[in-house]
Structures are given as C-alpha cells and as structure tokens.
Amino acid sequence: MADHTHDLFVIGGGSGGVRAARFAAQRGARVGMAESGRMGGTCVNVGCIPKKLYSYGAHYAEGFTEAAGYGWEIAQPPTLNWATLKANRAKEITRLNGIYEGLMTNAQVLRLQGHGRLLDAHTVEVTSDDGKTTRHSARHILIATGGTPFVPEFPGCDLVVTSDDMFDLPVLPRRLVVVGGGYIGCEMASIFHGLGAEVTLLYRGEQILRGFDEEVRAFTADEMCKHGVDVRVNADVARIEALPDGTRRLTLKDGAQLDADVVLYATGRRANVRNLGLEALGVRQAESGAIEVDEHFATSVPGVYALGDVVGRMELTPVALAEAMVLVDHLFGPAPGQSARTMDYDNIPTAVFTHPPIGTVGLGEQQARERFGAIQVFRGDFKPLKHTLSGSSERTLVKLIVDAASDRVVGLHMVGADAGEIVQGFAVALKCGATKAQFDATIGIHPTSAEEFVTLRTMARG
C-alpha cells in the first residue's frame, strides 16, 4: 500500500466514477480522478438532465393547447425560441459541472483534467489536453468511462447525428427522422415533436421498446402516434444521401423514400473503452466491448475494477451509483455500523420520458408468465381527469402482474403523466414483496391517476 501514491485512481468523472471517488475518500482513501471532458459524464452533459429539461420544455406545447379547455385564451400561437432553451440548458449544465468539481475538491480527491490510460495494473498515465503526460500509481484502479452512441456502417452513415448532438443543434429541425425504437429514440422523438419538429420514428422490428411489457409497448406506440409522431415499424434504412440544399434523403429497404433536415441515429450505445490500454493489459471484454466484471466489479486483471455503463449491465445512473457504493464497501469497508452492500438487479424501476412517459418496475406479463407460470393480470386504461376539460384524447394505462401462488405483485407498469414519479414509490412496495391483498388494503389518494393501482379489482387475464 505504501508503494502507491493513491489507494484508488478513477478514470471517468461520470455518475459512477464520482460516487466511487467521493465515498472512497470519505472512508479515508487517497483518491485520484482523471476526466477528459466536463464533469458529470453522460447523465449531466448529454443524457438524463438535458433530456429531461427539454422534455419539460416540450410538454408546454400540449399545455398551451389544453389550456383552452380550462378557459385560457392565448392570443398568439406561442413560438419556441430554440436559442433561449439551449442557452438556459447550457447554463444549468455548467452549474452542475461546477457542483461535480466541488464534490471532488471537498472530498480532497486529486482531480486531473485529461485522458487516463492504464500502463499496468497499478499505473495510470494521464494525458492532458495540451499533450503533457503524468503517471499515477494506485493500489486499485477503477474504469468508469461510460458509453458512447453507436451508429452502424451503411451508405450515408456520416450524414447522421447522435443523441450527443441533439442538444446543441444550430437550428431546430423542421423535419426530424429518428432511427431506433429504444429509450433514446422514443424519448427524442417525443421531445422534438413537442418542441415543434415533424418527427418520423423508424424502427426495424415489429414494435418499439423491445424488452418492455408488450401491452406497454403497443399502448405507448399508439399514444405517440396520437400525439403526432409518425411511428413506422418494420422500417429499415438502406442508404442516406445529402441533397444540394442539405436535405437528407433516406431510402428504406422496401424502396420508400423520405426527406429530413436531421437524421438521428439512436441505435444503442457501446462501452467507451478506446485507448484505455485494456487489450495490452489483458482486461477481458465482451464482444460488444463491455468490460467483464464479477459481483465486486473486479475485472479479469487483479487490482483493476469497472462499473457503470462501461460494464453494460443496466445503463442507468442510479444503477452506476449503487454499483459504486458496492465497490467502495468492498475495497474500503462499509460505513461504521453497516454491512457491506451487494448489488441486486431485480426490481430496478425505470422510466422512459416519452410523451406520455412510461414508468415500470418488475416483470412484464410475458416474463412473469415464464418465471412463475400462473399469474394474474390486473389492468385499466382511462382518460385522466385533467383531460375531461383539456380536449386531449390521451389515455393512461396502469397494469399489475401478480404471482398467483404467493399473491405477490411482481410487475407494475404505467403509461401516463408523471409515470416516473408514481412508479418510484410503488417500487419500494415491490422491493418489500407487497401482495395484491396489501395493494387492495391501501387507501387511494383521490382524485389521482396513482390511486388506480390500489383499486384494480377485476382480473383481466388469469
């Protein structure tokens, strides 16, 4: 231990890296951290936070329309000043970058601006923006370098943008084509439609949002279409050309053509492992590039650890934070009076900020049937009270999946306003193993959409 200048050296200042550095330092470890970009990683700079801010911005569009049903007379059709939205977002992100820097300073972490690369299992070389290199020795090294958007190779792939570019587009596109039906594709399609673009979403399979409950997928696709997003399934791009006026012309594999000002490829993300020195060191990676780790986030090379998006288990900020706490407990011992945490990937709630959003925790209907055999499905879809006057035809879906043998609720799903906010609370109940009888014994809060979860009495499917 005395041979090394650091107990822990972290490469990557995103959610997972910052959490590990901060809590390791709190346990008395000497910690160093290299980050080549701005602090906060994907979540703060080009992910969760700016995305959610733009989603709030986009929701005003329907708010303006719906307000008429409540008697508001808006004289002029409201217009979006894209430059103002971008500038206000940038200011907030800069403030958050500063907070993350402050977390490192206050924890007395040695913060280095530059690209970190492993020279061996205990040495990191950091190259600063001006090309100067420094070497740092550490008992443990943590790789928390996150992920980066993936665009497949095809004719015209250089004419597309990725989610990283969407927040600072010079001009709000009039026509946007989004390729990919996952989290990012669906969220960006909803957001940019709300901000005023004509949006077409192209998905190569039968239904968007693979992995989610089938009914949730279909319901969300319908609602997105009702809102005005042109969702096209079984649509695969063959090539893209640039016309002289800058228009992107897409030709699909079935020969159909469509024009756009911007084409966003949201076709997944890959581990950010470039130039880290992993191959030379023999750090085992999956075919996708994701670093392979055990339950303590140890890689195949003793002393080297990895967590967060770079290990590609569940690419969610709160998961990276939890993984970091598990690692800190493992390397430096748990907090006084507590036992070392372990990572449990069951019942992790998640939201997709489509319009309307999805909130989900536990298993989908099909997954639950495979796991438990006999299940009971309770569901309801309804027009929320707000829309009785707003004129909107938006509906809300609530759904519970119950294991018939134990009566435990093993899946809870919602598509509707504030689904993320609502499902977070119910996730605690699922984590505690709540039964359908306990849901039924809970008094609702009236009038809310959330109360529907405790008033679902009629079984839809057994």
Smaller CB distance to ligand NDP: residue 267 or 299? Answer: 267
Task: Map the footprint of ligand NDP across residues 254-273, applying CB under 6 A.
Answer: 266-269
Smaller CB distance to ligand NDP: residue 192 or 203? Answer: 203
Is 49 a binder of ligand NDP (CB under 6 A)? no
Is 328 a binder of ligand NDP (CB under 6 A)? no
Is 185 a binder of ligand NDP (CB under 6 A)? yes
In whole angstroms, the minimum distance from the beta carbon of 52 to ligand NDP comes to 8
Candidate residues 305, 353, 378, 439; the one interacting with ligand NDP per rule CB under 6 A = 353
Is 461 a binder of ligand NDP (CB under 6 A)? no
CA-to-CA separations, 446 to 18, 382, 420, 435, 449, in angstroms, rounded = 41, 15, 19, 22, 8
Catalytic residue among 4, 136, 330, 446: 446
Is 184 a binder of ligand NDP (CB under 6 A)? yes
CA 253 to chain CA mean position, Å: 30
Please say whether the beta carbons of 23 and 33 come within 8 A: no
Please say whether the beta carbons of 349 and 360 come within 8 A: yes
Q: Are strands 230-232 and 147-149 parallel, antiparallel or unpaired?
A: unpaired
Question: ∠ CA(61), CA(66), CA(70), 5° rounding?
Answer: 140
Is 23 a binder of ligand NDP (CB under 6 A)? no
Please say whether the beta carbons of 388 and 370 come within 8 A: no
DSSP bridge partners of 264: 161, 178
Smaller CB distance to ligand NDP: residue 210 or 461? Answer: 210
| 3-class secondary structure, 294 | coil
How many angstroms separate the CA atoms of 173 and 398, rounded?
34
Is 194 a binder of ligand NDP (CB under 6 A)? no
Smaller CB distance to ligand NDP: residue 98 or 205? Answer: 205
Smaller CB distance to ligand NDP: residue 313 or 386? Answer: 313
Q: Torsions phi, psi of 346, nearest 5?
A: -80, 150
Candidate residues 94, 99, 106, 210; the one interacting with ligand NDP per rule CB under 6 A = 210
Is 351 a binder of ligand NDP (CB under 6 A)? yes
Smaller CB distance to ligand NDP: residue 42 or 396? Answer: 42
How many CB atoms within 10 Å of residue 108?
11
Count of residues for the chain? 462
Q: Which residue is nearest to ligand NDP (CB)?
A: 182
In whole angstroms, the minimum distance from the beta carbon of 433 to ligand NDP comes to 25
Q: Is the dihedral of CA 210, 47, 154, 224 positive or negative?
A: positive
In whole angstroms, the minimum distance from the beta carbon of 189 to ligand NDP comes to 11
Is 316 a binder of ligand NDP (CB under 6 A)? yes
State the binding string over 154-183 for ligand NDP (x if CB under 6 A, else -): -------------------------xxxxx
Residue 446 known to be catalytic = yes
CA atoms lying within 13 Å on the CB side of residue 17:
33
How many angstroms separate the CA atoms of 135 and 125, rounded?
4
Q: List, by residue number, the catalytic residues.
A: 446
Q: Which residues bind ligand NDP (CB under 6 A)?
A: 152, 179-185, 187, 203-205, 210, 266-269, 315-316, 350-353
